[in-house]
Amino acid sequence: MASYKMHLLVCGGTGCKSSDSMLIVDKLNEELKSHNLVDEAKVVMTGCFGFCEQGPIIKVIPDNTFYTKVKPEDAKEIIEEHVIKGRSVKRLLYVDPKEHARVSDSKHMGFYKKQIRIALRNCGFLDPENIEESIAREAYGALGKVLSEYTPQQTIDKIKKSGLRGRGGGGFPTGLKWELAAKSVAEQKYVICNADEGDPGAFMDRSVLEGDPHSVLEAMAICGYSIGASKGLIYIRAEYPLAIKRLKIAIAQAMEYGLLGKDIMGTGFDFEIELRYGAGAFVCGEETALIHSMEGERGEPTFKPPFPAVSGYLKKPSNVNNVETFACVPVIILKGEEWFSSIGTEKSKGTKVFALAGKINNVGLIEVPMGITLREIIYEIGGGIKNGKKFKAVQTGGPSGGCLTEKHLETPIDYDNLIAAGSMMGSGGMIVMDEDDCMVQIAKFFLEFTVEESCGKCSPCRIGNKRLHEILTKITEGKGTMEDLELLKSLSNVIKDTALCGLGQTSPNPVLSTLNNFWDEYLEHVVEGKCRAGQCTALKKYIIDPEKCIGCTACARACPVNAIEGDKKMPHEIKQELCIKCGSCYEKCKFNAISIK
């Protein structure tokens, strides 16, 4: 085998693949061939590096040079300069948003410095379509160890001691969940992997499945051995074609190598995994709805208990875990539960993957130790707020969560602190907002999502959320009253207390949390008819300054509703009752005479 001196890792995650990475791989290979370098350097298509906004990305090994926004036509220069002459292609290097300087390699990038990669350890490292690379990285080593050295109960104890908690949102202790399923007596049990990932903006599960499918398959088998199940099912949304493709390849390869299937590694343990496809409804991520959907029933939640551990898929005991939860399991077995529990806070161990988005410089997927502060995430890893604006809030937990503000910047982030701050971990969405965001609009945005996604089975969620949305709309239109604010609060609390499933029980969180943290902004909308962020169109007021207006008539001609009056060369005036706030006049005026109040 050729001993390569260089590996060119090209991101092949969904984010980057949609922007040309296949073509880049082909071009690189062509260039290597034409320079007779095919034995010197090899091109590997890996999973996501997490830095999607800067994609497509190429990382050059061994020097860790990190090229961003690479185009297929850059391949020639990369081969001729970097591979042949050892000089990096400066113009493709990442530019630090704070220092405005190019950064030589990934080890010196603020984005990666504070990250600890456990669930994402192989994403951007391995070729996910090649099981041999995974095996070289100890894939199935944990399964082999468990099968030949531990009893099911010993395995469960290890997971319990590691302190691993569910990454799908609720944070339920994983070892305990396994133990409950193990204790249920039945001939057939199921291990279910929840890959529904319905939280808008979250894509960590997709990245794990695309970048390191074997870790999830291996963990499901370990879980199967622990609880006494020989069958695993992955519930994945059909909108994830690349993840599905890589899962299928991975399952077929693992079967071929005897790492899944009958009599795994000669231990007598059988385990098979199949895929089940979801249509992408948010509520189908809720475990009871997910199970009904897999059974071919309507994807609607049912009351718990019975919990899936007792009566799940086809009424058989089932253990449901999230993709990221599973991805942590093999490492815990290999490196030990003490190692895992040494990372994190007292009650939240290990790391969490967050999808950093919104008004932040470094958008992407990050994995950080539990207990890191919001400040470190936003200013060190995230590189600060875009365009030097002022930080306002971060929404965590997606449509079920709430916002954290300036006063939470130093709070160590873990399950319990987020709840105490009126938010939640959720699946790990983290949307950053700046001074230009209106918090009433933000609450309305998330409510829109829940109204759309409510399955309609119970009335608090189906009707209540609609009313909440109407009131919020009223406020953004400048028609809100003080009674509306009171109603928002009381209605939210009723929905929280009476909805059937987690979707409805958490849907008022964005409203309650913005009411709590940004009460004065709500008041401004209602009492002063003002939106400080200028996002609520109806509350905008365009005014012409008679001192500055020279009467050029440009604005009057631009106004689609003839709301501007005034004689030529005389100051003009906007008839507020006619104005539809389209902003045309504001853009047309060359004398800065029009302002927005």
Partner 1 sequence: MEKIKNLADLRKMKDNLQNKIDLREKSDSPEAIVQIKVGMATSGIASGAKEVMNYMIEELDKRNIKGLVLQVGDMGYCYAEPTIEVTRPGESPVVFGYVDIAKANEIIEKYIKNGELLDGILPANYESIK
Ligand X SMILES: Cc1cc2nc3c(=O)[nH]c(=O)nc-3n(C[C@H](O)[C@H](O)[C@H](O)COP(=O)(O)O)c2cc1C
Rule CB under 6 A: which residues touch ligand SF4?
283, 301, 454-458, 461-462, 499-501, 503-504, 542, 558-559, 561, 563-564, 574, 579-585
Kindly state the DSSP code that residue 373 receives in the 8-state scheme. B
Q: Which of 459, 476, 480 is nearest to 526 (CA)?
A: 480
- Characterize the bridge pairing of strands 190-195 and 564-565: unpaired
Q: Whole-angstrom Cα distance, residue 357 to residue 180?
A: 37
Q: Give min distance, CB of 17 to partner 1, in A.
A: 21
Cα-flanking dihedrals φ and ψ of residue 75, to 5°? Answer: -55, -45
- Amino acid present at 546: P
Question: 3-class DSSP state for residue 95?
Answer: strand
564 binds, among partner 1, ligand X, ligand SF4, none (CB under 5 to 8 A by kind): ligand SF4
Q: Which of 247, 198, 231, 251 is nearest to 319 (CA)?
A: 231
Which positions from 8 through 67 interact with partner 1, judged by CB under 8 A?
A: 9, 61-64
N- to C-terminal Cα distance for the chain? 70
Nearer to ligand X, 42 or 457 (CB): 457
Per-residue binder mask for ligand X (CB under 6 A), 150-179, x = binder? ----------------xxxxx-x-------
Q: Give min distance, CB of 282 to ligand X, in A.
A: 6
Cα-flanking dihedrals φ and ψ of residue 207, to 5°? Answer: -65, -40
Q: Give min distance, CB of 312 to ligand X, in A.
A: 12
* H or E segment to which residue 497 belongs: helix 482-498
Q: Whole-angstrom Cα distance, residue 114 to residue 588?
A: 47
Cβ atoms of 515 and 522 within 8 Å: the answer is yes
Q: Which of 34, 46, 44, 49 is nearest to 79 (CA)?
A: 34
Per-residue binder mask for ligand X (CB under 6 A), 424-463, x = binder? ---x------------------------------------
Choose one: 181-189, 280-288, 439-447, 484-492; the region binding ligand X (CB under 6 A): 280-288
Q: Give min distance, CB of 155 to ligand X, in A.
A: 16
Q: Does 414 bind ligand X (CB under 6 A)?
A: no
Choose one: 103-111, 407-415, 448-456, 559-567; the region binding partner 1 (CB under 8 A): 103-111
Q: Give min distance, CB of 141 to partner 1, in A.
A: 7
* H or E segment to which residue 353 belongs: strand 351-358
Nearer to ligand SF4, 126 or 574 (CB): 574
- Characterize the bridge pairing of strands 542-544 and 594-596: antiparallel
Q: What are the CA-CA distances from residue 201 to residues 205, 283, 367, 376 (Å)?
A: 11, 16, 16, 21
Q: Whole-angstrom Cα distance, residue 88 to residue 111?
A: 20
Q: Does 138 bind partner 1 (CB under 8 A)?
A: yes
Q: Which of 284, 280, 216, 278 is nearest to 247 (CA)?
A: 216
Q: Give min distance, CB of 196 to ligand SF4, in A.
A: 14
Cβ atoms of 510 and 403 within 8 Å: the answer is yes
- Characterize the bridge pairing of strands 351-358 and 429-434: parallel
Nearer to partner 1, 7 or 114 (CB): 7
Question: Cβ-closest residue to ligand SF4?
Answer: 504
Nearer to ligand X, 196 or 521 (CB): 196
Position among 98, 107, 113, 335 found at the interface with partner 1 (CB under 8 A): 107
Cβ atoms of 196 and 324 within 8 Å: the answer is no
Nearer to ligand X, 383 or 426 (CB): 426
Q: Does 503 bind ligand X (CB under 6 A)?
A: yes
Question: 3-class DSSP state for residue 595?
Answer: strand
574 binds, among ligand SF4, ligand X, partner 1, none (CB under 5 to 8 A by kind): ligand SF4
Nearer to partner 1, 140 or 178 (CB): 140
Q: Does 587 bind partner 1 (CB under 8 A)?
A: no
Choose one: 111-119, 242-250, 496-504, 582-590; the region binding ligand X (CB under 6 A): 496-504
Sheet (strand 65-67) strand order: 41-46, 6-11, 58-61, 65-67
Q: Which residues contact 29 (CB under 8 A, 6 or more apart)?
A: 38, 43
197 binds, among ligand SF4, ligand X, partner 1, none (CB under 5 to 8 A by kind): ligand X
Q: Does 112 bind partner 1 (CB under 8 A)?
A: no
Q: Which two tokens stand for residue 112?
A: 């990666």
Which positions from 293 through 332 interact with ligand X, judged by CB under 6 A?
A: 320-322, 325
Nearer to ligand X, 15 or 169 (CB): 169
462 binds, among ligand X, ligand SF4, partner 1, none (CB under 5 to 8 A by kind): ligand SF4
Q: Give min distance, CB of 7 to partner 1, in A.
A: 6
Choose one: 29-37, 260-268, 410-418, 541-549; the region binding partner 1 (CB under 8 A): 260-268
What is the SS3 string spanning 380-405? HHCCCEHHHCCEEEEEECHHHCEEEE
Cβ atoms of 373 and 411 within 8 Å: the answer is yes
Position among 47, 213, 285, 429 found at the interface with ligand X (CB under 6 A): 285
Residues of the shown chain interacting with partner 1 in the complex, contacts defined by CB under 8 A: 1, 3-7, 9, 61-64, 85-88, 104-105, 107, 125-126, 132-133, 135-138, 140-141, 144-145, 147-148, 256-259, 265-267
Residues of the shown chain interacting with ligand X in the complex, contacts defined by CB under 6 A: 166-170, 172, 194, 196-198, 282-283, 285-287, 320-322, 325, 427, 501-503
